[in-house]
Amino acid sequence: MPDTSQVCSWCRGDKLLYDYHCGEWGIPLHDDVRHFEYLALEAMQCGLSWLLVLKKRDAIRKAFSGFDVRRVAGYTEADIQTALEVPGMIRSAGKIRAVVNNAGVFCKMQEEYGSFDSWLWSYTDGKTLVYKSHRSGLPASNSLSDEISAFLRKRGMKYLGSVTVYSYLQSAGIINDHEPCCRLYEYINSSFPVRFAD
């Protein structure tokens, strides 16, 4: 393991978590393919550990056609069964159907807003939120995740409650929840547009 003295405590002790943390987590994301991937991973994670999802990420990617949202939106029942049979895949037909359903909603939102990314970042005027209150502990959800989750569920998305959406907002860099001692906390604050909030 590399030196973990200046990273978030949750990624210490496991190289897969460390690499995910340092290479992806919380870095502002502006790519619809990755947005769909993150949403799919979050939906598949419900009730499971994030480490397990990372271990199965390649299988999930294969099951969902490399996270090609338009292909996934067109999945038939036969495709869902094929996805279930991918070696190493999380074998939950309900979650797979939810991701297929969500892909269809995602595509409609792309058509309506130009991109999913532009819709999402409109909530923060294109800026990463840095909550001062989070220095003393992170919430499981907040008013922003409540609002976005409610909108997505109204549009028909599934497995994306407020707690799951909050986790997604952290991973996509909408919220900078790196610990203040983590080198990425200051990197994000100094390298990307941010807005400080209470």
Side-chain-side CA neighbours of residue 152 (13 Å) = 30
Active site residues: 20, 42, 50
Q: What six digits make up the tokens of 153?
A: 């569920």
Structural domain boundaries of the chain?
9-197
Alpha carbon 177 to its chain's center: 13
Of 91, 88, 87, 110, residue with least CA distance to 39: 110
- Please write the tens of the pLDDT for every residue from 50-95: 999 999 999 999 999 999 999 999 999 999 999 999 999 999 999 9
Average confidence (pLDDT) over 25-37: 98
How high does pLDDT run on average in the chain?
96
Q: If you classify domain 9-197 with CATH, what class do you get?
A: mainly alpha
Measure the CA dihedral 165/128/192/173, to 10°: -10
- Please write the tens of the pLDDT for every residue from 86-139: 999 999 999 999 999 999 999 999 999 999 999 999 999 999 999 999 988 899
Q: Which helix (H) or strand (E) holds 89?
A: none
Residues 129 and 144 sit within 8 Å (Cβ to Cβ) = yes
Side-chain-side CA neighbours of residue 184 (13 Å) = 24
pLDDT of residue 137: 86
pTM, 2 dp: 0.96
